[in-house]
Amino acid sequence: MRLYALGGLLYILSVVPVGGWAASSKPCPLKVKETIIPPRGWQQHGVPPPDHRIVLRIGLPQPNFHVLEKHLYEVSDPYHHRYGTHLSKEETERLVAPHQESVDAVDEWLESHGIKQSDLVRSPAKDWVTLTIPISLAEKMLGTKYSVWKHVDGDEIVRTTSYSLPEDLYDHIDLVQPTTMFGRFKRNKSTIVWLDQKEAPQTQNFKATVKSGPGATVDPSCNRTITISCLQQLYNAVGYVPKAKGNSIGITGYLEEFANIQDLQSFYADQRPDALNSTFKFLSVKGGLNSQNLSEAGAEAGLDVQFAFGLSHPIPATFYSTAGSPPFKPDTLTPEDTNEPYTDWLDFVLSRDDTPLTISTSYGDDEQTVPESFARRACAGFAQLGVRGTSLMFSSGDGGVGDNDPNPATQQCFTNDGRNVTRFIPSFPASCPFVTVVGGTTGVPEVAVSRFFSGGGFSDYFARPAYQQRVVEQYLAALPEGTYNGLFNRAGRAYPDVSAQSDRYRIFLSGRPVLIGGTSASSPAFAGIVALLNDVRLSRGQPPLGFLNPLLYSKAVSGFNDITIGHNSGCGTTGFNATKGWDPVTGLGTPNFGKLKNLI
């Protein structure tokens, strides 16, 4: 046993090996580690060349993650005496480090296949090992055969449906990817309306007001176009000027979505003139670019940085661009197959000390296309950021309870377990209990968004966390008996947690004003409000908010505008309804900054 003191408390960490490893002259029998049925839409399309190179990530067990999780909930609970005492990078790494026996066992296995230490890249905690090898060697090591798989939409990837490990190594490795990962990592849907400059309504031209709630008024133009001013009015943040030192906000960019600085300046001139000539810090992940060619400006990236950074100005801002545009197409122009890029981003930020205090992401997968082992490890990475004091926001998606395609022939609401039965399809990372998920609203007064449908539902992988148990049970108890029996997991982590406006945001794209919508808009908007709340705490000498959910569902619950109208259609149903209190359409509701800054 090993004693480990942290945060004034004494913890006992297990150091008992999870399995044995002994050198042997005889090959160790292989044992199947994971087998999956390919998701709908994928078909085998060929065999990759043996010299095709693949970037393998080997996840070693984190035997003391339960201790980190305990810390996370204690430092995130506003009623706990340790609230806000976040851990350092080094303290966090000690809590996710594998046993040395696992490190040695994996090293010996790799060496037996001619892989040298110099060929490996290790995470700071040594819980991940990354190597780039020919696919022929990967097949030999994993007792498998890779194939080229093609999706009905044309995407191609190199994957397998099963892989094995030596029996003596089995308990020293949690997962190896890419193997069974068929996720189609994608931006959440965005609806764009192109406008001529003269057609785009300007908020300041409207003098009348409309009610947004008790005692609140909002410019009527906000029913047609959402601007920074509209969000400040809707969410009771008019006139607040951030002033604390040490604050920060970040946006993640993927799939070659570039944040154009010229568009940002045009946006600032249009809606936030006091921010003119300010910009963001750009960080490249795995060679990610941020082209400033106006013709390559990304709608998603532009939306995210313009509203998150515009709403939170002058808080220092960072934009991450992570290389890679999966699903991968195996051709001579892309000689290496890689993992889903949000894990590359996680590797990057977890290795640094300068992670922003607030981060928003508008990308995700269908949960069932992500192997559960992979989803749990990625979710554990988000927990590490939370315990270090970072608030993570993810958009809930725009497919309602799974797929708002009205055509039953093309709907994707079916299980991947071989039965192909109808099922609501939760999203990941939205289903991870260690992130804050943002749904969508529209109009004044606000209702659940209706031009597309706010993603929401219940995870099939993650159990419902204690922080939301009471409100979710209340919602489920009020459902008419038999509602959607068998279509969702009543015991799963429920989402979204909160919501914000998600339709007809006015941004600048490639030099022109456009209107854009989706929960891709609501997440950066909510992140902007969180950055302002962090300013409130930092200006009073208090620590940042960090992982938000235990606070949101308890002390801060009265700081939200309850949304009670609307639903989130999908899978041939009308989905769930927005109701009084929490619901799987708009969560707890939209933020009231004026109330929240007093509550925190």
**200 touches 513 (CB < 8 A):** yes
pLDDT above 50 (res 204) = no
DSSP result, 211-242: EEETTEEE-GGGGT-B-HHHHHHHTT-TT---
Query: Residue 182 has what pLDDT?
Result: 87
Stretch 570-598: mean pLDDT = 96
Stretch 120-146: mean pLDDT = 97
pTM of the model: 0.92
Per-residue pLDDT tens digits for 380-415: 999 999 999 999 999 999 889 988 776 666 677 988
pLDDT above 50 (res 21) = no
Query: Residue 456 has what pLDDT?
Result: 97
Give Cα 527 distance to the centre of its chain: 13
pLDDT band, residue 502 (cuts 50/70/90): very high
Question: Which residues, 6 or more positions from 491, have their beta carbon under 8 angstroms from its beta carbon?
Answer: 458, 463, 464
Q: How far apart are CA 309 and CA 341, in angstroms?
A: 23
DSSP result, 559-593: GEE---S-B--BTTB--PBP-SS-BTTTBT-EE-H
- Does 581 belong to an annotated binding site? yes
- Does 583 belong to an annotated binding site? yes
Average pLDDT, the chain: 89
- Does 563 belong to an annotated binding site? yes
Q: How far apart are CA 392 and CA 394, in angstroms?
A: 7
Stretch 186-201: mean pLDDT = 53
Q: How far apart are CA 24 and CA 168, in angstroms?
A: 10
Tell me which amino acid residue 237 is: A
Query: Residue 195 has what pLDDT?
Result: 58
Is 573 strand, coil or helix?
Answer: strand
pLDDT band, residue 325 (cuts 50/70/90): low
More confident residue, 451 or 123: 123
Q: In the chain, where are the structural domains located?
A: 32-62+97-182, 187-599
Beta strand 505-509 pairing with 512-517 = antiparallel
Which of 178, 117, 175 minimizes the C-alpha distance to 147? Answer: 178
- Does 344 belong to an annotated binding site? no
Give Cα 202 distance to the centre of its chain: 33
Query: Residue 369 has what pLDDT?
Result: 86
Which of 307, 221, 300, 326 minimizes the C-alpha distance to 268? Answer: 307
Catalytic residues: 300, 304, 520
Per-residue pLDDT tens digits for 142-191: 999 999 999 888 888 899 999 999 999 999 999 999 999 988 766 655 55
Q: Which H or E element spans position 294?
A: none
Q: How far apart are CA 387 and CA 73, in angstroms?
A: 8
**530 touches 500 (CB < 8 A):** no
Tell me which amino acid residue 431 is: S
187-599 CATH choice from 3.40.50.200, 1.20.1250.20, 2.40.50.180, 3.40.630.30: 3.40.50.200
Per-residue pLDDT tens digits for 330-371: 544 444 555 567 788 999 999 999 999 999 999 888 899 889
Stretch 291-314: mean pLDDT = 97
